[in-house]
Amino acid sequence: MARKKKGEPVHGWLILDKPEGVTSTQAVGICRRVFNAQKAGHGGTLDPLASGILPLAFGEATKTVGYVMEADKDYAFTIRWGSSTTTQDREGEVT
């Protein structure tokens, strides 16, 4: 006999505006608990220091994540020329 999955059978996509300081996996876990979903995944990974759009799939929609991963994506960022930090990212001390 198969073990019953925890949660509800939630299906579909949620487009999340992921805040800085949260990993993609943490975002999936939080949303999965909020919706009490049996199954959830994400269509790409954002760095914890990055904010932006993170597509989340629930239930049957997780079967279509591959199509999202293959799609073209655009990225916007800000760069400061002539500056460096001790960690080579924005969290380090400017040198």
From 47, 72, 74, 89, active-site residue: 47
Q: Does pLDDT of 3 surpass 80?
A: no
Q: What mean pLDDT do residues 5-21 have?
A: 93
Q: Which of 59, 10, 56 is nearest to 36 (CA)?
A: 10
H or E stretch at 32: helix 24-35
Q: What mean pLDDT do residues 46-59 have?
A: 92
Q: What CATH number matches the domain at 12-70, 2.40.50, 3.30.70, 1.10.287, 3.40.720?
A: 3.30.70
Q: Is 47 a catalytic site residue?
A: yes
Whole-number Å distance between alpha carbons of 93 and 48: 19
- pLDDT top residue among 55 and 89: 55
Q: What mean pLDDT do residues 49-55 have?
A: 91
User: pLDDT band for position 1 (50/70/90)?
Assistant: low
Domain boundaries, the chain: 12-70
Q: What mean pLDDT do residues 55-77 have?
A: 90
